[in-house]
Amino acid sequence: MSDLSEKPIGVFDSGIGGLTVMRALTRRLPGESFVYLGDTARLPYGTKSPDTVTRYAVQCAGAVSEKGIKLLVVACNTASAVAIGPLTKALYPTPVIGVIEPGADAAVKAAPNGRIAVIATEGTVKGGAYMRAIKALKADAEVVQKACPLFVALAEEGLTEGDIPERVARHYLEDLLNVADKPDCLVLGCTHYPALSGVIARVAGPSIKLVDSAETTAEAVARLLSEHGLERRTAPTPPRFLATDAPERFARVGETFLGRHIDPAKIELIDL
Ligand code: DGL
């Protein structure tokens, strides 16, 4: 047993949305310990320039890495889309996994006709990372993308069901879906969108499969741990939460994303 395998898995996001990835990770890997950082002081990343997102993401990765981790999961789609290269370099030799490649892989598997729609933040859409990752796996895939910024605000407000999110979903998805050759699948390419998956699935209709990059990332992390012999062998410790601002809000809103109670008193406030 190497000491490394006993270390926690580090996870970071621009804020609380990455707790959807953490939720998938803890479900898939119940025997692991986790340390999660939400950069709540500087959210959102999705509207910022690639240079700024990269600078913030490298600072977050450094702060999580200081806690002593065996692997880093970049839960934020925007940071994964623009900064995975610099992050991998900054943390070497610690392995770094983003959410784009696992999401692209799942999308290709869920698209027998090769028609894939991706919804994400403005930054992720503009950078075209999902498009490139999907085309690398299936060169003739037809990929359409759309930024759905209001989904982030709706998820943070807890407005995940009912008339308002449904109308917003119709507004965003109409032109993606009202085409002769409908997409086979719709990639939820943002940490917040799984919180709205019920509404999105209803608007998309039963023929379009939703691809949640959180679940596919958890699967990729499980594979990587097993390949490197890094699975934890002793009982896990409770998750550690770090935030750069507003720990009380992190706990209150974060609970809905994580699906379990977060004690605000246990959130460590850090400065980057
Ligand atoms: N975490 C971001 C993402 O997955 C969404 C929120 C933000 O814009 O920071 O792209």
**Mean pLDDT computed over 113-121:** 97
Taking 3-state DSSP, the helix, strand and coil percentages for the chain, each rounded to the nearest 5, stand at 50, 15, 35
Q: Cβ atoms within 10 A of the Cβ of 194, count? A: 23
Average pLDDT in the chain: 96
**Is 147 buried (19+), middle (13-18) or exposed (0-12) by CB count in 10 A?**
buried
- Based on the domain organization, do 11 and 82 belong to the same domain? yes
Which helix (H) or strand (E) is 64 found in, with range? helix 50-65
Which percentage of the chain shows pLDDT scores above 90?
94
Please identify, among 213, 240, 260, the residue that sits at the C-terminal boundary of a domain.
Answer: 213
- Based on the domain organization, do 134 and 236 belong to the same domain? no
Give yes or no for residue 1 having a pLDDT over 60. Answer: no
- Indicate which CATH number applies to the domain containing 86: 3.40.50.1860
- Written as six digits, the tokens of 266 are 């246990």
Residue nearest to atom 1 of ligand 1 (CA): 76
- Based on the domain organization, do 119 and 154 belong to the same domain? yes
User: Where in the sequence is the domain holding 35, given as residue range(s)?
Assistant: 3-98+216-269
| pLDDT for residue 214 | 87
**Mean pLDDT computed over 186-201:** 96
78 lines ligand 1 (CB under 6 A): yes
**Mean pLDDT computed over 9-38:** 97
Atom of ligand 1 nearest to the CA of 124: 10
CA of 114 to the centre of ligand 1 (A): 26
- Based on the domain organization, do 168 and 250 belong to the same domain? no
| pLDDT for residue 2 | 54
- Based on the domain organization, do 91 and 221 belong to the same domain? yes
- Based on the domain organization, do 39 and 21 belong to the same domain? yes
CA of 233 to the centre of ligand 1 (A): 33
pLDDT tier for residue 254 given thresholds of 50, 70 and 90 = very high
- Based on the domain organization, do 114 and 197 belong to the same domain? yes
- Based on the domain organization, do 91 and 110 belong to the same domain? no
User: Does the annotation mark 190 as catalytic?
Assistant: yes
**Mean pLDDT computed over 118-132:** 96
Contacts of 149 (CB under 8 A, 6+ apart): 46, 47, 121, 122
Please identify, among 165, 190, 213, the residue that sits at the C-terminal boundary of a domain.
Answer: 213
Give yes or no for residue 262 having a pLDDT over 60. Answer: yes
- Based on the domain organization, do 250 and 198 belong to the same domain? no
17 lines ligand 1 (CB under 6 A): yes
Specify the number of domains making up the chain: 2
Residue nearest to atom 6 of ligand 1 (CA): 44
Model confidence, pTM: 0.95
| pLDDT for residue 247 | 96
- Based on the domain organization, do 184 and 249 belong to the same domain? no
| pLDDT for residue 60 | 98
Per residue in 204-222, pLDDT (tens digit) is: 999 999 999 888 899 999 9
- Based on the domain organization, do 87 and 20 belong to the same domain? yes
Atom of ligand 1 nearest to the CA of 18: 1
40 lines ligand 1 (CB under 6 A): no
- Based on the domain organization, do 159 and 180 belong to the same domain? yes
Please identify, among 165, 186, 213, the residue that sits at the C-terminal boundary of a domain.
Answer: 213
For the chain, the first-to-last Cα distance in angstroms comes to 34
User: Does the annotation mark 60 as catalytic?
Assistant: no
Q: Cβ atoms within 10 A of the Cβ of 92, count? A: 9
